[in-house]
Amino acid sequence: LGFNMTKKRRNNGRNKKGRGHNRRVRCEASGVMVPKDKAIKRFIVRNIVDASAIRDIQDASVFDGYALPKIYRKVYYCISAAIHSKVVRVRSVKERRNREPPRRYAPRRDDKK
């Protein structure tokens, strides 16, 4: 009797499961409010100083081996902004079934000193 609509995603595009509501967060790119469980989340770690000035600061520094501080930010994107800014990609129906996290590439280390 009951006709079931086809589902595009197993989790309906969210990570809610049993919670009624989720607090909303601001999208980094568009400023729109997105439910926190639906937003694309990225943790960004950057140096406070840009790469060109790091060497100058280290040469002028009094301390040997001083570690420059970093900026740690948790960034949220709405789906449309994340796709537009290429944070995530659109995947085919077959690829959507793959729940494995994407491979992480370690930064290359060239030890040529």
Closest CA to 43 of 87, 107, 80: 87
Tell me what pLDDT residue 90 has.
92
Mind listing the pLDDT tens digit of every residue in the chain (113 residues)? Answer: 789 998 888 889 999 999 999 999 999 999 999 999 999 999 999 999 888 888 888 888 888 877 888 999 999 999 999 999 999 999 998 998 888 888 888 776 666 55
Q: How far apart are the first and last CA of the chain?
A: 73
Tell me what pLDDT residue 30 has.
96
Tell me what pLDDT residue 87 has.
92
Cβ-based neighbours of 79, under 8 Å, separated by 6 or more: 13, 34, 38, 40, 88
Tell me what pLDDT residue 110 has.
67
Tell me what pLDDT residue 21 has.
94
3-state SS of the chain? Answer: CCCCCCCCCCCCCCCCCCCCCCCEEECCCCCCEEECCCCEEEEEEEECCCHHHHHHHHHHCCCCCCCCCEEEEEEEECHHHHHHCCCCCCCCHHHHCCCCCCCCCCCCCCCCC
CA distance 5 to 8: 10
